[in-house]
Amino acid sequence: MSNKPNGSVMERRHTETADIDRLATQDMLALINREDQAVVNATGACLPEIARLVDNASATLNRGGRVVIVGAGASGRAALQMVADFAPDAHPQLIGLMAGGAEAKRQDQEKAAANYALGVADLQAIRFGHQDMLVALSVSGKTPWMWGALRHAWSVGACIALLSHARESEAAQMADIVIAPETGAEVIAGFNEPKARLAQQQILNMLASGLAIRTGRVYSNLRVDLKPDNMHWIERQIALVMAATQCNREQAKSALAASDNDCRTAILMQLTGLNNAKAQDLLAENHQSLRIALQEAKLHLVEA
């Protein structure tokens, strides 16, 4: 057996980091940091495609469909984490799926990732349909499980987005939206592709923030959909109402108490003088968008 690196590893070697093992620690870290900064530029070059991803995903959610984010291995863990961060209280329209499941042993996850049929079955199990959207995460674009999920989504006519390092992969041919940042060779060949993973995480962060904004979870730059699950979140709610309305603590607490501890309703009541029932109705009529509900309330006040 040859002890030489195979062709693919040789192709991925970074021409400017060949002597990284000879550098002083600070110089070594500076080189890594420079490469990480290049990832930001590579992701920035994909903003038009990322905008399409956010717009299509938010449109899917707003019309009652689901956005299903899938991946195997590290990509699967990233998918699950993004969903958990977006909706700590669970969100039936945003779903994360990982090959083998988050609780499975690493060996079982790897076995599942190699199973094409399981990718199909996992989407069938949640009754994935044409009204839903699939966001597939795959650095290589070659994972069989992900391929199965892509094929099933394609077969039912759903919108598909692919986040990958391989723009020319066959998987990309099935996707409506392909986001493939050109992050270049990794600093260290064969070391789990941290630059590609960093780009993937940056895109997922933009997707989560964009969805939060487009689905009415954000007013100004404040997240206003927090639930009073514990004392920490109760205090956060009070602080949010104070920041959004410039009221004092007692006024914020009173508004929250009158609104069944719903931040959006409390803010709308405090800014407009509406009662709880009317504020909730106005939010419901405007897909829980506090910004639009406020505009509607002000318009009605002018007309009155």
pLDDT higher for 282 or 87? 282
pTM here?
0.88
pLDDT at residue 3 in the model: 42
Q: 162 — phi, psi (to 5°)? A: -125, 125
9 band by pLDDT with thresholds 50, 70 and 90: very low
Query: Which range is most confident: 3-12, 133-142, 261-270?
Result: 261-270
Tens digits of residue pLDDT in 235-288? 999 999 999 999 999 999 999 999 999 999 999 999 999 999 999 999 999 988
Average predicted confidence (pLDDT) for the chain:
90
Residue showing tokens 């931040």: 263
Residue showing tokens 């070391």: 191
Distance between CA atoms of 288 and 264, rounded to whole angstroms?
A: 8
Distance between CA atoms of 81 and 85, rounded to whole angstroms?
A: 6
Query: Which range is most confident: 123-132, 160-169, 227-236, 288-297?
Result: 123-132
Within its chain, how far is the Cα of 15 from the centroid? 33
Q: Could you give the count of Cα atoms lying within 13 Å of 62 in the half-sphere of its Cβ?
A: 18
From residue 129, how far is each of 67, 123, 154 by CA, in Å?
11, 9, 10
pLDDT at residue 301 in the model: 67
pLDDT higher for 39 or 89? 39
pLDDT at 197 over 80: yes
pLDDT at residue 304 in the model: 53
